């Protein structure tokens, strides 16, 4: 059964998209908010749209209360205007965005002894925000590749292909072949939290699970992992919404 993609729900003065997700093995219906602030109802495979909508209507009060607490989706430009910094190589760089007329391609440079990161956007760019987003992702790929290589060498580990992607909810993953995938938004976090995620995935090169041995190994890699994990959980809902509006 195909889910409709034109559903909406009214929450007070707002009308927001409603997404029905059918999942194998799911026995119960569950509500959540997606990272584009859409309402998501997860249902069993054979559940009809009508049943799903009835369930959503019964939870209207809960949805209304949760919508008031939900961080808004922000563009990269909006985020950097509020938090003008990005992390890489274990450091925090002050970020400045410039429109330049003498360049055909967006790029970034370091100034003030390497403490300031300048994101240069061509004045001819048709969509400044989209160009900025792609440039930030390019910096993320460069910065995270260097940081993973640094920690892997320090720990004597070998990994496969590294990819930097736009995951909707995960900070990172490690495949059975040793490939590591990281979320580009890690550069928006403090270096210690960025390192925590990288070390988490590097630990999976040895322990491909979340067993007691895995957590013991990660404790060796990051003695402050419990505090870092708690802090990351606090920030995830807000930071994961950055770049969804570009």
Note whether residue 2 is domain-resident: no
Work out how many domains the chain is built from and give that number.
2
Say whether both 199 and 226 belong to one domain.
Answer: yes
| CA–CA separation, 199 and 191 (whole Å) | 12
Note whether residue 244 is domain-resident: no
Say whether both 181 and 234 belong to one domain.
Answer: yes
Alpha-carbon separation of residue 108 from 89, 97, 119, 134, 193 (angstroms)? 15, 9, 5, 12, 23
pLDDT given for residue 132 in this prediction = 97
Note whether residue 245 is domain-resident: no
Say whether both 186 and 138 belong to one domain.
Answer: yes
Note whether residue 198 is domain-resident: yes
pLDDT tens track, the chain, 246 positions? 344 556 888 877 667 788 888 887 788 898 887 766 678 898 998 899 999 999 999 988 888 887 777 777 899 999 999 999 999 999 999 999 999 988 889 999 999 999 999 999 999 998 999 999 999 999 999 999 999 999 999 999 999 999 999 987 789 999 999 999 999 999 999 999 999 999 999 999 999 999 999 999 999 999 999 999 999 988 988 898 899 766
- The predicted model scores a pTM of 0.78
CATH code at position 110: 3.30.2010.10
pLDDT given for residue 237 in this prediction = 81
Give the N- to C-terminal CA distance of the chain in Å, as an integer. Answer: 32
Task: Give one word for 12, left, alpha or beta, with left for phi > 0 and alpha for psi -120 to 50.
Answer: left
Q: Which of 19, 45, 69 is the endpoint of a domain?
A: 69
| CA–CA separation, 158 and 61 (whole Å) | 50
pLDDT given for residue 66 in this prediction = 78
pLDDT given for residue 245 in this prediction = 67
Q: Is the dihedral of CA 19, 5, 181, 146 positive or negative?
A: negative
Q: What is the domain range of residue 84?
A: 76-239
| CA–CA separation, 205 and 213 (whole Å) | 12
Q: Which of 23, 38, 69 is the endpoint of a domain?
A: 69
């Amino acid at each position: 059964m195909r889910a409709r993609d034109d559903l909406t729900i009214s929450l007070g003065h707002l009308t927001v998209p409603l997404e029905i997700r059918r999942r194998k093995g799911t026995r119960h219906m569950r509500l959540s908010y997606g990272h584009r602030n859409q309402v998501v109802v997860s249902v069993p495979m054979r559940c009809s749209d009508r049943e799903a909508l009835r369930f959503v209507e019964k939870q209207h009060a809960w949805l209304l209360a949760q919508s008031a607490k939900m961080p808004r989706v922000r563009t990269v430009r909006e985020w950097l205007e509020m938090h003008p910094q990005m992390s890489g190589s274990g450091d925090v760089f002050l970020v400045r965005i410039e429109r330049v007329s003498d360049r055909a391609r967006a790029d970034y440079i370091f100034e003030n002894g390497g403490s300031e990161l300048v994101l240069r956007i061509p004045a001819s760019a048709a969509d400044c925000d989209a160009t900025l987003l792609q440039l930030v992702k390019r910096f993320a790929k460069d910065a995270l590749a260097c940081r993973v290589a640094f920690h892997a060498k320090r720990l004597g580990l070998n990994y496969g292909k590294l990819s930097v992607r736009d995951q909707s909810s995960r900070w990172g993953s490690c495949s059975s072949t040793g490939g590591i995938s990281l979320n580009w938004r890690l550069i928006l976090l403090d270096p210690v939290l960025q390192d925590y995620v990288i070390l988490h995935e590097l630990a999976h090169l040895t322990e491909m699970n979340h067993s007691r041995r895995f957590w013991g190994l990660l404790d060796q890699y990051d003695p402050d992992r419990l505090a870092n994990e708690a802090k990351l959980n606090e920030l995830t809902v807000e930071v994961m919404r950055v770049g969804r509006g570009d």
